[in-house]
Amino acid sequence: MFFGLLVFGISWQKKIASPVVVDLWQELPEPVKKLSLPPEPPKPAPKPVPQPPKPVPEVRKEPVAPPPPAPKVETPKPSAADIELKEKLRKQKEEEAARLEEQKKAEAERKEEQKKAELEKRRLEEEQRKAAEEQRREEAERKRAEQEKLRREDEARRAEEQKRAEEQKRVDEAKREEERKQHAIAMEREHQQQEAVRKQREAEETKRRAEAAARAAQQKLIDDWRARIQIKIKGRVVLPPNMDGNPEARFDVVLLPGGEVLSTTLRKSSGNPAYDAAVERAIMAAQPLPVPTETDLFQEYCRELNLLFRPKD
């Protein structure tokens, strides 16, 4: 039983070796420090189940089993972080190489562009120099042509000026002769105009005097009619008792052609209402008032009257 338990315990602790997996790498990873794995602790042997006592068999000496081989230490595989770091470094190297290549290409293009710009600049400068020379040549030719043109124009101008001077001389002679004739005619016309003005002034003065006389006669006639109207009205004014002073009352009176009163308006009060009322009653009582029979004279001077009344006048 003892030997059986010993063999069972040893075989139970024996592990089956796992297969070895090999990865192929383009570049060797950086060396990683080997970590020694601690040996697994031996598992406790199961407790024997007590069995009923059996007869002790004859003990036979059996060969002792050899000890199990020591566990192989496997080479640690690179971790995912190491692989990712290595891939990142590889990509960085590729990007740096591409960037350097791009910089070299850009520098070459820049130099090529600079060379082209320099050539273009030289070409433009040469064209500008040729254009400037051509312009100077054309300018010199133009100046010579202008000078020749100015010389011909000056000769033509002098000939034309001489011709105009001779023509102007003849014209001036004819003009002076014509001016002498026109002056004589103007003097005669002015004499006639002065005579006509004198006669016109005399006629206007005569007319003015006649009109003034007519207006004076007409004004005298109008004043006479207005005096007759005021006399007729005053003759019918009944003065109120205890009338003091000589107050003035003004009335606007509108008449009809027959002398009837159309309306009467107190323009300025005398300060005595009784006297104002007495004058207004006298105006209404005096109608028909004496007015001229001529329609034009009545319409112009007697239709609308402004009458002044004082009790002591």
Determine contact, residues 257/209, Cβ cutoff 8 Å: no
Q: Running DSSP on this structure, what letter comes out for residue 311?
A: T
Average pLDDT, the chain: 81
pTM (2 d.p.): 0.34
pLDDT tier, 100 (very low <50, low <70, confident <90, very high otherwise): very high
In tens, the pLDDT along 111-141 reads 999 999 999 999 999 999 999 999 999 999 9
Q: How far is CA 306 from CA 68, 144, 230, 250, 302, in A?
A: 164, 97, 11, 7, 10
In tens, the pLDDT along 220-239 reads 888 888 888 888 888 888 88
pLDDT tier, 45 (very low <50, low <70, confident <90, very high otherwise): low
**What domains can be seen in the chain, in order of their start residue?**
235-309 (3.30.1150.10)
pLDDT score recorded for residue 127: 92
State the maximum Cα–Cα separation within the chain, in Å, rounded to a whole number. 200
pLDDT at 185 over 90: yes
pLDDT tier, 61 (very low <50, low <70, confident <90, very high otherwise): low
pLDDT tier, 83 (very low <50, low <70, confident <90, very high otherwise): confident
Residues whose CB is less than 8 angstroms from the CB of residue 189 and which lie 6 or more positions away in sequence, other chains included: none
Mean pLDDT value across residues 169-183: 91
Q: Which residue has the higher pLDDT, 42 or 4?
A: 4
Q: How far is CA 249 from CA 21, 246, 268, 278, in A?
A: 148, 10, 6, 11
